[in-house]
Structure 1
């Protein structure tokens, strides 16, 4: 097996493949990247058995073949090599790497033992702009649960409903929902692990399209020269629709930046062991935010436009802030009912595209 490739191009694709390498694996071969050369193409494959990556680039192939090389070792070597052509000469499991005046000799693994990536026997496929996928990840994945005892909530549900493609994440305390208006007519309702989406977000370019292919127990994200494979989670997702469409008796319009800044200041005195509690009193044209701890107290007032009843309610400040930080609109609307019912936040400019729901904290328990 012999091939040549430019250092920068090789490093780019090693960095991509390394996203699927787990530091917690007990199988040494999974610490490696499968290098495969044929038809003047270098293909790198990596997997931790839950997330997999296949990425390809052009190279000069003199002799075709396959070899598994330790991911950390090859990544560190290539990063330190000069910006020049790298030549690989591989005999059996012996790997010779030459670049300018440098030469490395490594031991690899037989490719026969490397687990295969899923076969792409496409059942359902959709295509959306990369910017939509990036926004969907940014606006939802933070709300997914980190509790592994409820695995279905540790991901983002992707579902097609009427003329919308929905992305939904929840953890029992809040729900984030982004809706993309589309002409997709596939019957889709699948849950993608948060980690897979976070790694995908690091790999995606800034523009273009991405194809999502749903195969048995897996989803494949197609970026052209790179495919990202992810297992799907159990479909037992929480039925959230009855909550997010409940009526409100208090509707408040507020400048998003003012509300976020006031909450951030108030949260400085909120304590994690007391649910990061902030109290909010909504009266005519005013939101009064307070927080206190053994270190002191803080009081904030910001202007709002209110339609409906006055209301006193309390929240975990972190949960409110998490949702506000991903909203790009200058104004947002708070839809509330009473001190025990959820608050639903919508960006004014994207009211039908994004929704963030957060449950209140019961004051009687504090």
Structure 2
């Protein structure tokens, strides 16, 4: 194999596929990046058997071939090369000669033959096209609530669904839930998949913020392929039944608060200063009402905080404790000025929603006293 390409282009591609390289695999080749020639340039691949990322770059290919390089070492090397064209050539022992300006290296590679093949989704008819920005926002507004508990495998993913009109992404970790919805218009495919949270997190880092950029998602019973043109990500799906969102959302709240989101967020942020800087960092933040205001309070050995916030309050009074981090995570992902907070008694969860519509819903369980 012999090719030349831009250093910056190569470095960016390596950084992209490294997101899918296993950092602690007992199989050495999974710690590597597959480099192979294509008809138009070079393809780099990282694959940890769950998630695979392919990056395509333009290159002047003089000889076809393939090789596997150790991900971290090769990535660090390319980053430190001069900002010039890079020449790479392999020999029969899978060694690579890397030349860039006056810098010359010879590094060891691996035979590409044992590198696992990424699954291929053949059914091009089973696909959907989504704005990259919409998908990126949906992931960023829900991924914080994905469970880290491997024993609850289904909850380590997010539920991507569509009823043919509204696309939803739902994450649940057992203590809170995040729901984000987008109107996709008519005749959108009906889908129901559980996608690993790790995969979605990496996808969000690559997706564009441009309104007119699109991503094509190809679907099979076991995998989803996210195609952005020069980058493709394939992910194994999680088997199982996800939590029924409607079954855990109360339709009859006992109290409803309408208030300014930034005011509540700022007050909770200040409460976190008292709570987090103590040995008892799990001390809750208290939300209660006095009839005309919602009051944010915190009490620890560091001190006491009480901050009333103007609000419209309907229904019964309330006095509930919450994990302040969970509240902050939800409030930081609100996309409107005014919010509606619904309570279902002093032992039930709270819901944070827009005043109108249900573009997002954040559910948080209270801390028991």
Q: TM-score range by the shorter chain?
A: over 0.9
Task: Please give the TM-score of this superposition, normalised by the length of structure 1.
Answer: 0.94
Deviation at 1:114, TM superposition (A): 0.4
Q: Deviations over 1:58-80 (max 9, x none)?
A: 11111111111111122111111
Structure 2 CA distance for aligned equivalents of residues 124 and 42 of structure 1: 28
| 2:206 aligned residue | 203
The answer on 1:266 being equivalent to 2:267 is: no
Q: Distance in 2 between the 1:44 and 1:240 partners?
A: 39
Corresponding residue for 2:367? 361
1:191 aligns with 2:194: yes
SS at match of 1:82: coil
Moved more, 93-102 or 242-251: 242-251
Match of 1:340 in 2: 347
RMSD over aligned Cα, in angstroms? 1.7
Alpha-carbon distance between aligned partners in 2 of 1:9 and 1:280, rounded to the nearest angstrom: 51
Aligned counterparts, 1:41-120, within 5 A: 41-92=41-92, 93-120=94-121
Encode CA deviations 1:236-261: one digit per residue, 9 max, x unaligned: 21222122252213211111111111
- In structure 1, the residue matched to 2:238 is 233
Q: Measure how far apart 1:162 and its partner are.
A: 4.7
The change in CA–CA distance for 1:353 and 1:58 in structure 2 (over 3 A counts) is: same
Q: Secondary structure at the match of 1:268?
A: helix
Question: 1:32, 1:46 within 8 Å by CA — same for their partners in 2?
Answer: yes
- Distance in 2 separating the partners of 1:273 and 1:119: 51
Q: For residue 324 of structure 1, what is the aligned residue in structure 2? A: 331
Gaps of 5+ in 2: none
CA contact (8 A) 1:283 1:306 kept: no
Cα distance in 2 for residues equivalent to 1:133 and 1:159: 12
Give the count of matched residue pairs: 362
Cα distance, 1:157 vs. partner? 0.5
SS of aligned partner of 2:121:
coil
Find 1:255's aligned residue among 251, 257, 260. Answer: 260
- Partners in 2 of 1:278 and 1:82 — Cα distance? 52
Q: d(CA) in 1 for partners of 2:85 and 2:271?
A: 56
Check conservation: 1:127, 1:210, Cα contact below 8 A: yes
Task: Please identify runs of 4+ aligned residues in structure 1 that moved more than 4 A.
Answer: 271-274
How far 1:205 sits from its partner (Å)?
2.1
SS across alignment from 1:233: coil
Higher mean displacement: 285-294 or 81-90: 285-294
Alpha-carbon distance, 1:295 to partner: 2.8
Q: TM-score, normalised by structure 2?
A: 0.94
Quote the residue 1:309 is aligned against: 316
Q: Which sits farther off after the overlay, 233-242 or 166-175? A: 233-242
CA–CA distance in 2 between the matches of 1:260 and 1:195?
27
Other structure's SS at 1:304 match? strand
Match of 1:166 among 165, 168, 178: 168
1:213 counterpart residue number? 218
Q: Is the 8 A contact 1:165 1:184 kept in 2?
A: no
Residues 359 and 39 of structure 1: is their aligned pair in 2 closer, same or farther, counting only changes over 3 Å?
same
CA spacing shift, 1:80–1:21, aligned 2, 3 Å: same
Answering whether residue 357 of structure 2 is matched by residue 351 of structure 1, we say: yes
- Cα distance change of structure 1 residues 22 and 272 upon mapping to structure 2, 3 Å threshold: farther
Match of 1:24, SS?
coil
SS of equivalent residue, structure 2 residue 295:
strand
Q: 2:141 is paired with a residue of what secondary structure? A: helix
Q: In the alignment, what sits opposite 1:242?
A: 247
